[in-house]
């Protein structure tokens, strides 16, 4: 097994480029999956209040026996914790469910611009960062318009913007914006939730060419683009496969061909319209 590269998060922090996504696993389902993933070499776990599985993630971490400082754990606060410093109690609640005394990365899960609380929530995040219970802070599902406001009205640039991103939803403008501002882009639903994407004929051809699976070709595409990627699987063989990405590279023309599967600017969620 080749070690997972680390992506710098600014200051002296870094994030393992591949992590385990845990949506939509329940507490009971996720705990043994975490153990399998850690045994397979994962050192980055991605959960959220909204997934309702932080207790199971914490259980899996303890069951694995891994040392806390070898692991990178992300959670995301949802809309119920936006505004009025509610994020302080929100993080404490997450930490108690996880059984941890800090998370490595805390994200605002959705901007919810209709409520217009994300700027004040971000100011609370800045204090949480200073307090040490969140080692890095970032956002999820933020568009450039939302980030423009954080950059103009607050002091700290988000370390990460985790967005829906896969070969059907390639988000090139948002990736460029994030990169320009030193924000690491994370990909959620990196495999298109395992639906028709993985049956794309192009991916079948490339899987044969590289002697990998279509999922590994897609995940390697994320890696080639410098993205942090958190595929979900509860299947032990796939969990192992999804982190086994570092003994091959895609030729630039193949990266471009995969990017050309993009379904246009209307594809994917619009976080001006939806959010939790
Ligand atoms: P399962 O959990 O049953 O293994 P995403 O991360 O884009 O949300 O995709 C998750 C979906 O993709 C899940 O349904 C998962 O199924 C499936 N999946 C994960 N890894 C692989 C893989 N290596 N090959 C095929 N399907 C996969």
pLDDT digit string, tens, across residues 214-232: 999 999 999 999 999 999 9
What strands, in cross-sheet order, belong to the sheet with 160-164? 20-21, 44-46, 72-77, 103-108, 134-140, 160-164, 184-188, 228-229
Look up 51 and say whether it is catalytic: yes
CA angle 229, 200, 198 (to 5 degrees): 40
Half-sphere exposure of 40 (CA within 13 A, CB side): 25
> Each residue of 47-82: pLDDT tens digit?
999 999 999 999 999 999 999 999 999 999 999 999
Report which of 245, 246, 228, 174 is spatially closest to residue 8, judged by C-alpha positions. 228
Distance in Å, CA 215 to ligand 1 centroid: 8
For the chain, give the mean pLDDT: 96
State the pLDDT at residue 10. 79
- By most ligand atoms within 8 Å of CB, the mutation choice from 20, 203, 231 for ligand 1 is 231
Atom of ligand 1 nearest to the CA of 23: 8
What is the value of pTM for the model shown?
0.97
Distances (CA, A) of 170 to 183, 187, 224: 17, 10, 13
Query: pLDDT band at residue 121, thresholds of 50, 70 and 90?
Result: very high
State the pLDDT at residue 77. 97
CA angle 220, 206, 214 (to 5 degrees): 60
**Euclidean distance between CA atoms 62 and 68, whole angstroms:** 9
Atom of ligand 1 nearest to the CA of 231: 6
| 215 in Cβ contact with 239 (< 8 Å) | no
Residue nearest to ligand 1 atom 24, measured at CA: 215
Distance in Å, CA 236 to ligand 1 centroid: 11
Distance in Å, CA 230 to ligand 1 centroid: 11
State the pLDDT at residue 11. 74
State the pLDDT at residue 34. 98
**Euclidean distance between CA atoms 197 and 217, whole angstroms:** 11
Residue partners of 201: CB distance under 8 A and separation at least 6? none
Report which of 23, 42, 74 is spatially closest to residue 241, judged by C-alpha positions. 42
| 184 in Cβ contact with 170 (< 8 Å) | no
Distance in Å, CA 132 to ligand 1 centroid: 34
- For ligand 1, say whether the CB of 222 is within 6 Å of any of its atoms: no
Q: In this model, does residue 150 exceed pLDDT 70?
A: yes
State the pLDDT at residue 111. 97
State the pLDDT at residue 265. 84
State the pLDDT at residue 274. 83
Q: In this model, does residue 276 exceed pLDDT 90?
A: no
């Amino acid at each position: 097994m080749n070690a997972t590269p680390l992506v710098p998060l600014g200051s002296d922090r870094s994030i393992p480029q591949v992590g385990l996504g845990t949506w939509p696993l329940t507490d009971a389902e996720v705990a043994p999956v975490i153990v399998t993933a850690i045994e397979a070499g994962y050192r980055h776990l991605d959960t959220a209040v909204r997934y309702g599985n932080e207790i199971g993630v914490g259980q899996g971490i303890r069951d694995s026996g891994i040392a806390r400082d070898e692991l990178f754990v992300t959670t995301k606060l949802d809309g119920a914790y936006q505004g009025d410093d509610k994020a302080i109690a929100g993080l404490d609640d997450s930490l108690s469910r996880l059984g941890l005394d800090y998370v490595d990365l805390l994200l605002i899960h959705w901007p919810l611009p209709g409520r217009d609380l994300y700027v004040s929530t971000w100011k609370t995040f800045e204090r949480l960062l200073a307090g040490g219970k969140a080692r890095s802070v970032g956002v999820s599902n933020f568009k450039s318009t939302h980030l423009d406001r954080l950059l103009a009205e607050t002091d700290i640039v988000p370390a990460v913007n985790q967005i829906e991103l896969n070969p059907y939803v390639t988000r090139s403008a948002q990736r460029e914006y994030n990169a320009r501002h030193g924000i690491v882009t994370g990909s959620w639903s990196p495999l298109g939730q395992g639906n028709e994407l993985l049956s794309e004929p192009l991916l079948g051809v490339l899987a044969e060419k590289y002697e990998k699976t279509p999922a590994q070709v897609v995940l390697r595409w994320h890696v080639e683009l410098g993205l942090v990627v958190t595929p979900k699987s509860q299947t032990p063989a796939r969990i192992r496969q999804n982190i086994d990405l570092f003994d091959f590279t895609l030729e630039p023309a193949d990266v471009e061909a995969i990017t050309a599967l993009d379904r246009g600017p209307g594809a994917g969620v619009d976080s001006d319209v939806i959010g939790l």
